[in-house]
Structure 1
Amino acid sequence: MDVDQDTPLFAIAAAAELAELHPQTLRQYDRLGLVEPTRTAGKSRRYSLRDIAQLREIARLSAEGVSLEGIRRVLSLENEARALQQRVRELESALADALLQQPGRRVFASGANGEVLSMRAGARAERRNQMVVWRPWSSSSEDR
């Protein structure tokens, strides 16, 4: 089973304990749409680690005197910013892939063991075992 930040793991009692809130507070936040836990087939709430972090953020903002409507707006803007950042990453990846597919845009180099490496245009191959000897010019003819 893959477990990540969004995997619904915790029943309301465990989530309330982890968030250091009363279970009734979690129910109220759910009704207000401040946090949206996953529901089981029997309609029980299941909270993820991301939900618990959001509950802690709600509690922090509330303790600082932010109204519930203000908290809703802050969370909405944070979620929107997170979604936009993800979309930018996706578009950057798609653009990089598209540029590599254009004719004349692919650059190749040879690896240390002779393998062919595909490189981005403008990138330089890494050289590991190179030595450069520099000798200054001298005016005497024996150095030439």
Structure 2
Amino acid sequence: MSELDENSPLFAIAVAAELSAMHPQTLRQYDKLGLVSPRRTAGQSRRYSMRDVVQLREIARLSAEGLNLEGIRRILELENQVSALTGRVRELERALADELLNRPGRRVFAAGSEGDVIPLRAGTRTKKSTSVVVWRPFGPRD
């Protein structure tokens, strides 16, 4: 059995309508407009996920604030895009971390005193500076 998550198509239209406090015909209209796109069963019945129900509630909230359906569609599109991009960034961060940890002979870098990049061999350290810098913001004192 596969795991259930927020995207699992669980609810028939009547249940999704009740959970979102909307009429089933409103859900059909939003599906037609592309605001919420539930999955379909083999018999073409709509099956809504918990994420779809949350999105329907968000549509109701935005509509109550005075946004028209085109504005709501654009907001949802951007939110979905941000969510997808955030997931992709996390995926790439994990892949990069795995690559850095598992690559033998990986390169290490340090920042020089002038902001330059200094390549180091793995296991080596930079030379410590022993110079003292005195800063007098108002010039010499009498």
**Could you say whether these structures have the same fold, taking a TM-score greater than 0.5 normalized by the shorter chain as the test?**
yes
Provide, for residues 90-138 of structure 1, a one-character-per-residue CA deviation record: whole Å limited to 9, x for no partner. Answer: 1101111111122234xxxxxxxxxxxxxxx9xxxxxxxxxxxxxxxxx
Provide, for residues 70-94 of structure 1, a one-character-per-residue CA deviation record: whole Å limited to 9, x for no partner. Answer: 0000000000000110011011011
Equivalences for residues 119-138 of structure 1 within 5 A: none
Secondary structure in structure 2 of the residue aligned to 1:25: helix
**What fraction of aligned residue pairs are identical, expressed as a percent?**
73
Provide the rounded CA distance (Å) in 2 between the counterparts of 1:14 and 1:102: 51
Aligned to 1:38: 39
Shift of 1:60: 0.5
Runs of 4+ aligned structure 1 residues displaced above 6 Å come to none
Provide the rounded CA distance (Å) in 2 between the counterparts of 1:15 and 1:77: 23
Aligned to 1:20: 21
Provide, for residues 15-68 of structure 1, a one-character-per-residue CA deviation record: whole Å limited to 9, x for no partner. Answer: 000000000000000000000001111111000000000000001000100010
Provide the rounded CA distance (Å) in 1 between the counterparts of 2:103 and 2:25: 58
Q: Name stretches of at least 5 consecutive residues in structure 1 with no aligned partner.
A: 106-120, 122-144
Q: Name stretches of at least 5 consecutive residues in structure 2 with no aligned partner.
A: 107-121, 123-142
Q: How many residues align?
A: 108
Q: For the aligned residues, what is the CA RMSD?
A: 1.8
- TM-score of the superposition, structure 2-length normalised? 0.72
Secondary structure in structure 2 of the residue aligned to 1:103: coil
Secondary structure in structure 2 of the residue aligned to 1:3: coil
Provide the rounded CA distance (Å) in 2 between the counterparts of 1:44 and 1:103: 53
Whether 1:93 and 2:94 are equivalent positions in the alignment is: yes
